Structure 1
Amino acid sequence: MTGSDRPSALDPAIAARLKRGADGLVPAIAQQYDTGEVLMLGWMDDEALHRTLTTGRCTYWSRSRREYWVKGDTSGHTQQVKSVALDCDGDTVLVKVDQVGAACHTGDRTCFDADVLPLGQ
């Protein structure tokens, strides 16, 4: 169970706007604030979003480990939050960050560097 199954300190007005999946999660896109580079996609529940908004560091919910993780606590590749926005439907979060080091667990700058698909196929 994610943290969304317990009370969260997330602002009720923000919580009311979120459209979560059946698992209580919303996708969170991390984007480099000054270049627009898309870095990665993570998952947040209410508690992860609350922690992100209040600490200034990206906190995600790991679906595989079933626990919260703060980007960079293990790797040193931190994400300092510059702004957070909801999309028009409230079902995706955009977090503009200052990425230090690699965003991808493979060591690449972004999770979208390694497998560019051919067009016109």
Structure 2
Amino acid sequence: MNWIDDVVFDADGLVPAIAQDWQSGRILMVAWMNREALIETAQTDRAVYWSRSRKRLWRKGEESGNTQRVCSLRLDCDGDVILLTVEQQGGVACHTGRESCFYRELAGTAQERQWQVTDAVLKNPESMYK
């Protein structure tokens, strides 16, 4: 049996992939991988995802330059989630120019909860995407 056969892809042929900073442990982003993206990632040690909006492989950083060098790949106990520990090149994983896509935190009292931005923009998105 090949290692890829242990991965449980959903009905659309996708598996969620969590990118985590290899040093800090911070979750940078969540994306999707199909079989081809996962194989290419394993072969090249560069994060490759499946873009659901573009309907094609998305080599992280192909436009922005903010690539992810993969340090390790892990599979969860059910075989249906991939965890990548990555070295984020450029320090920005989010298309908003922030380190992480998880830059909002729920804050306030129970009656007045709202999302509060916790991370500053490190790089102007207009300079990353043309």
Please, what TM-score do these two structures have when normalized by structure 2?
0.79
Mapped to 2, the partners of 1:120 and 1:62 lie a distance apart of 37
Secondary structure at the counterpart of residue 46 of structure 2: coil
Secondary structure at the counterpart of residue 64 of structure 2: coil
Match of 2:101 among 102, 106, 111: 111
Identity of aligned residues (%): 50
Total equivalences in the alignment: 109
Q: Of Structure 1 and Structure 2, which has the larger fraction of its residues in strand?
A: 2
Match of 1:28 among 8, 13, 17: 17
Match of 2:62 among 69, 73, 78: 73
Match of 1:89 among 66, 69, 78: 78
Gapped regions of structure 1 (runs ≥ 5): 1-11
Q: Residue 31 of structure 2 aligns to which amino acid in structure 1?
A: G
Mapped to 1, the partners of 2:41 and 2:47 lie a distance apart of 5
Q: Which gives a bigger RCO, structure 1 or 2 (Cα 8 Å, sep 6+)?
A: 1
The answer to whether the aligner puts 1:17 opposite 2:20 as a matched pair is no
Aligned to 2:116: none
Gapped regions of structure 2 (runs ≥ 5): 111-130
Structure 1 residue runs of 4 or more that deviate by more than 4 Å after TM superposition:
none
Aligned to 1:49: 38
The answer to whether the aligner puts 1:40 opposite 2:40 as a matched pair is no
Mapped to 1, the partners of 2:29 and 2:84 lie a distance apart of 10
Q: 1:120 to 1:45 in 2, by over 3 A?
A: farther
Q: Which has the larger radius of gyration?
A: 2
1:87 offset after TM fit, Å?
0.6
1:118 offset after TM fit, Å?
2.9
Mapped to 1, the partners of 2:27 and 2:43 lie a distance apart of 23
Mapped to 2, the partners of 1:23 and 1:70 lie a distance apart of 20
Please, what TM-score do these two structures have when normalized by structure 1?
0.85
